[in-house]
């Protein structure tokens, strides 16, 4: 073993504080080296003298009331802080706590939010098929659900055409009719949402809607029964 290595480990050798798995063999190697090296023995002797001198240094005993004095000083320092300092300290502490609490949830929460938005969009199209979205001309619908739409509103056949003594009934508040359409685009049922509900008016609606043309609701590209079309009228003709 070289002198430089031995002198680095003399303090541990003297205090029996060598570390490592080979400390026993290292201590034996240092002892063997000291038997043949006078320079390292002198260095070891100086370490021993230094250890004796340090052991003779009187120890400073802390005052008995040191702990109490420290607590009093800390309390006084805390009381001397203004509200702004306390608020900043509380804010920093709360920020650290919240960051440690929510950091593991950041990625799952983000993924869950996007998944929820996607599911909501799909479900919304399925449960609200009667809402018609205005599109540009020649637009190709890409929705999974396409609502039913009015193609053409039928007029009276000639045998039912209004005569000269028929009159036009104005509807100041309008007439809203909810029409249910089957898979072939025919009216199966209608309901008056608002407006007059006289028997003559219902007969007229029966005749008109029966011969009107509708495009059925599409579900994944297939015609599906149960679509709804809301029609609005401002005036109707009633035979007098």
pTM for the whole structure? 0.36
Tokens 């579900």, located at residue: 219
Q: Which residues contact 191 (CB under 8 A, 6 or more apart)?
A: 177, 178, 180
Block means of pLDDT (10 residues each) for the chain, 240 residues, are 83 75 80 87 86 82 85 76 74 82 63 71 60 52 75 63 42 76 91 84 85 88 88 62
* Cα gap 59→47, rounded to integer Å: 20
Q: Which residues contact 101 (CB under 8 A, 6 or more apart)?
A: none
Predicted local distance difference test score (pLDDT) of residue 121: 72
Bridge partners of 238?
167
3-class DSSP state of 76: helix
Structure tokens belonging to residue 195: 């407006």
Q: What is the second-level CATH architecture of the domain 145-238?
A: 2-Layer Sandwich (3.30)
Predicted local distance difference test score (pLDDT) of residue 216: 92
* Cα gap 205→192, rounded to integer Å: 10
Predicted local distance difference test score (pLDDT) of residue 163: 43
* Cα gap 102→110, rounded to integer Å: 12
Digit-coded pLDDT (tens) for 153-168 = 876 544 444 443 344 4
* Cα gap 186→26, rounded to integer Å: 100
3-class DSSP state of 184: coil
- Supply angle C-alpha 31, 14, 36, rounded to 5: 25
Predicted local distance difference test score (pLDDT) of residue 238: 47
Angle, helix 38-56 to helix 23-36, in steps of 10 degrees: 110
Give the start-to-end residue ranges of the domains of the chain.
Answer: 3-56, 145-238
* Cα gap 171→123, rounded to integer Å: 37
Q: Please check whether residue 182 is in contact with residue 190, taking contact to mean a CB–CB distance below 8 angstroms.
A: no
């Amino acid at each position: 073993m070289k002198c430089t290595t031995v002198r680095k480990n003399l303090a541990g050798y003297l205090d029996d504080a060598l570390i490592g798995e080979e400390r026993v063999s290292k201590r034996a190697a240092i002892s063997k080296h000291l038997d043949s090296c006078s320079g390292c023995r002198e260095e070891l002797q100086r370490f021993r003298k230094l250890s004796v001198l340090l052991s003779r240094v009187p120890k400073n005993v802390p005052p008995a009331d040191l702990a109490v004095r420290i607590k009093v000083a800390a309390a006084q320092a805390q009381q001397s802080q203004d509200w702004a300092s306390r608020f900043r300290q509380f804010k920093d502490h709360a920020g650290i706590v919240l960051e440690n609490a929510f950091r593991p949830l950041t990625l799952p929460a983000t993924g869950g939010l996007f998944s929820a938005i996607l599911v909501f969009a799909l479900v919304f199209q399925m449960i609200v098929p009667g809402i018609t979205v205005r599109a540009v001309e020649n637009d190709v619908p890409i929705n999974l659900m396409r609502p039913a739409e009015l193609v053409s509103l039928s007029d009276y056949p000639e045998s039912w055409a209004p005569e000269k003594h028929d009159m036009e009934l104005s509807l100041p508040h309008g007439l809203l009719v909810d029409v249910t359409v089957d898979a072939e685009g025919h009216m199966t049922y209608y309901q008056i949402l608002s407006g007059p509900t006289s028997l003559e008016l219902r007969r007229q609606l029966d005749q008109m809607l029966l011969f009107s043309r509708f495009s059925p609701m599409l579900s994944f590209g297939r015609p599906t029964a149960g679509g709804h079309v809301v029609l609005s009228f401002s005036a109707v003709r009633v035979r007098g």
